[in-house]
């Protein structure tokens, strides 16, 4: 064995010794297959070609030697003069380093990292160039995928943070609007018959109602609106809305529908979904001031485990409702901000900037997703992905109209709210209806009041209170006084998962008539 090893070493030594310096260089270059290494004449013609170049670019040496290296460049780079610029840079600065798209023999593109070095004689005369090319397509795609994932995470975190802030602001504004609207209503009932004064009150009430609508959109974005989950047929729903869409558009727009009849049923809040679709159709109209075409389509989509990681969405079966336009589209920067609350491209006074954010919040709250795609010069498509209803689910039938509230004898009602303005006005409205009221500014005060008063007929409590929430107070009352009627007042739907979903609720802001109806209804037999 030792003799054979010595013989092999001796042979290798004689082989290497027999090689010229040029031969050893050629042996090294031909052994490299991960890089395209080749030589260029001064004018850019290929003069040598290693196996790595053949593997990377697809040309045999006989097919490329003697041809100009610019054939590896894309047409747009040739037109821009990139090949000549690369050689000039190498000649003048001593090296060219760059990255860009290059072409293979079969016409496919790859992302290349390129180094070009000038070759000179000892006297400094330029005799050619050495060029090294490496395929970085996979690395670039991985980096871009990571960048997209980071950007998606950033956008998701930003929207989540803005959503939490918006939800908190909306809750506080709900209380302010509650006080304003109820004060205006009570004042209007006591004012003399002065038409000018009545006009001012009406204007203030209309402004307050707009504010309430704005708050509802903010809560929708924050995913804190109360949704009524129903089972809907998308084909029927779109058909029912078709005439409304057409009336909203006008004669300069064409509206096309592609909604198959055999789509599965979906789970959604039908009223909110109708509002969202109308909003998207109006947005499409506004994106085409001179008219154009709008298409409303629907298709079935499936998100599996592999896809859910790529698009940051939950798995399952969905129906994607899409509204597309042929307008001017949005650039990338605008598209990134499209779902931010209060961001709008419609100009001052022409939109609140809450339309898309509201749709986004609704879709997320339903367990679906909202996707906006846009290409400058080609238009925008907005898609609402709705979760498919469980197998065997039936279409939700319209609810019967509630019975009219009956007149009640005066009752004793305990009102609980930590906001002094809301507490004062709720008390005033109940007294306007003829009831007597016990006030409490916290759940602790409410429990103390109930321990002293035996004649309480109804408890109306706010939910968002410190120390003990309204839902927690109701849970305590359920144990202490199971037959005592309760009414939970809340400006949004973010209730703990363990709260009984059947607890009667009254949404803020409410007016005198809504309060009267609720009190009459829940004192008429609805219990915990």
Instruction: Kindly report the average pLDDT of the chain as a whole number.
Output: 80
Confidence of residue 15 (pLDDT cuts 50, 70, 90): very low
Q: Render 460-501 in DSSP notation, one character per residue.
A: EEES--SSS-HHHHHHHHHHH-TTS-EEEEESS----TTS-T
Specify if 112 maps to a domain. Answer: yes
For residue 365, the model assigns a pLDDT of: 79
Does 64 share its domain with 206?
no
Contact indicator for 316, 362 with CB cutoff of 8 Å: no
> Residues 106, 155: one domain?
no
3-state DSSP call for residue 120?
Answer: strand
Please say which residue of 189, 216, 243 terminates a domain.
216
Task: For residue 304, give the CATH number of its domain.
Answer: 3.30.565.10
pLDDT tens column, 429-464:
999 888 999 999 999 999 999 988 888 999 999 888
Q: How far is CA 507 from CA 393, 463, 475, 491, in A?
A: 28, 11, 19, 6
389 pLDDT above the threshold of 90: no
pLDDT, one tens digit per residue, over 290-336 is 889 999 999 998 886 655 544 555 678 999 999 999 988 888 888 87
Domain-embedded: residue 340: yes
* Res. 111: pLDDT tops 60: yes
- Which of 135, 166, 187 is where one domain is finished? 135
| DSSP H or E run through 117 | strand 109-120
DSSP state of 267: E
Residue 188 lies in a domain: yes
DSSP bridge partners of 384: 321, 370
- 205 is written with which tokens? 């009430």
Asked if residue 265 lies in contact with residue 231, where contact means CB atoms within 8 angstroms, the answer is yes
Residues 177, 78, single domain; the answer is no
Q: Dihedrals φ, ψ of 401, to 5°?
A: -65, 135
Based on the fold, state whether residues 352 and 418 are members of the same structural domain.
no
Alpha helices in 191-298 (DSSP H): 195-221, 234-249, 270-286
Q: Do residue 236 and residue 372 come from a single domain?
A: yes
What pLDDT digit, counting tens, does each position of 163-218 carry? 666 666 666 777 788 888 888 888 888 777 777 777 888 888 788 777 776 776 66
User: Would the pLDDT of 154 be above 90?
Assistant: no
Are 85 and 173 contained in the same domain? no
Which secondary-structure segment (H or E) carries 181?
helix 137-190
Q: Give the closest residue to 327 by CA, choosing from 290, 355, 360.
A: 290
Structure tokens at 181: 């609207």
Task: Among 174, 190, 216, give the residue marking a domain's end.
Answer: 216
| CATH number reported for the structural domain that contains residue 47 in this entry | 3.30.450.20
Convert the pLDDT of each residue in 225-244 to its tens digit. Answer: 566 778 889 999 999 888 88
CATH of the domain at 159: 1.10.287
Q: To the nearest whole percent, how much of the chain has pLDDT over 70? A: 76
- Cα separation, 380 vs 315, in Å, equals 25
Do 236 and 369 reside in the same domain of the chain? yes
The confidence band for 392, taking pLDDT boundaries of 50, 70 and 90, is low
Question: Among 263-272, 334-343, 449-458, whose mean pLDDT is lowest?
Answer: 334-343
What is the span of the domain harbouring residue 504?
Answer: 412-522
* Domain-located, residue 244: yes
Q: What domain count does the chain have?
A: 4
Are 276 and 383 members of one domain? yes
Query: Helical H runs in 347-496?
Result: 355-366, 420-432, 443-452, 470-480
pLDDT at residue number 33: 64
The answer to the question of residue 397 being in a domain is no
How many other C-beta atoms are found inside a 10 Å radius of the C-beta of residue 505? Answer: 16
């Amino acid at each position: 064995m030792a003799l054979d090893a010595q013989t092999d070493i001796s042979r290798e030594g004689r082989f290497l010794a027999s090689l010229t310096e040029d031969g050893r260089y050629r042996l090294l270059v031909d052994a490299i297959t991960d890089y395209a290494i080749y030589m260029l004449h001064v004018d850019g013609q290929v003069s040598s070609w290693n196996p790595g170049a053949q593997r990377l670019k697809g040309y045999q040496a006989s097919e490329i030697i003697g041809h100009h290296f610019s054939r590896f460049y894309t047409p747009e780079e040739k037109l821009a003069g990139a090949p000549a610029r690369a050689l000039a840079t190498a000649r003048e600065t001593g090296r060219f380093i760059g990255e860009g798209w290059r072409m293979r023999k079969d016409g496919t593109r790859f992302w290349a990292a390129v180094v070009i070095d000038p070759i000179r004689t000892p006297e400094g005369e330029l005799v050619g160039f050495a060029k090294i090319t490496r395929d970085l397509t996979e690395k670039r795609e991985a980096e871009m995928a990571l960048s997209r994932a980071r950007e998606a995470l950033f956008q998701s975190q930003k929207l989540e943070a803005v959503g939490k802030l918006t939800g908190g602001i909306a809750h506080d504004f709900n209380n302010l609007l509650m006080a304003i609207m109820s004060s205006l209503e009570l004042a209007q009932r006591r004012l003399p018959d002065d038409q000018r004064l009545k006009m001012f009150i009406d204007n203030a009430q209309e402004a307050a109602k707009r504010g309430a609508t704005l708050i509802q959109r903010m809560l929708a974005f924050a995913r804190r609106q109360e949704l009524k989950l129903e089972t809907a047929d998308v084909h029927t729903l779109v058909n029912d809305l078709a005439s409304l869409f057409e009336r909203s558009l006008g004669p300069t727009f064409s509206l096309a529908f592609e909604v198959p009849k055999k789509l599965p049923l979906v789970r959604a809040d039908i009223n909110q979904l109708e509002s969202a679709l109308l909003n998207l159709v109006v947005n499409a109209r506004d994106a085409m001031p001179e008219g154009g075409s709008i298409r409303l389509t629907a298709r079935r989509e499936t998100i599996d485990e592999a896809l859910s990681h790529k698009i940051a969405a939950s798995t399952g079966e969905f129906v994607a409702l899409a509204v597309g336009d042929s307008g001017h589209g949005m650039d990338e920067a605008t598209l990134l901000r499209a779902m931010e609350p209060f961001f709008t491209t419609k100009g001052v006074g022409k939109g609140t900037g809450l339309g898309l954010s509201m749709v986004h919040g609704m879709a997320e709250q339903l367990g679906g997703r909202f996707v906006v795609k846009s290409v400058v010069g080609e238009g925008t498509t907005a898609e609402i992905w709705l979760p498919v209803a469980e197998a065997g689910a039936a279409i939700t039938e319209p609810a019967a109209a509630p019975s009219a509230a009956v007149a009640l004898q005066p009752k004793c009602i305990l009102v609980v709210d930590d906001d002094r303005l809301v507490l004062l006005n709720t008390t005033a409205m109940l007294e306007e209806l003829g009831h007597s009221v016990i006030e409490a500014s916290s759940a602790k005060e409410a429990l103390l009041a109930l321990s002293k008063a035996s004649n309480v007929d109804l408890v109306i409590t706010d939910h968002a209170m410190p120390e003990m929430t309204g839902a927690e107070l109701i849970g305590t009352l359920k144990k202490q006084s199971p037959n005592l009627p309760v009414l939970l007042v809340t400006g949004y739907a973010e209730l703990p998962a363990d709260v009984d979903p059947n607890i009667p609720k009254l949404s803020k802001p409410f007016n005198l008539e809504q309060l009267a109806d609720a009190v009459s209804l829940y004192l008429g037999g609805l219990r915990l």
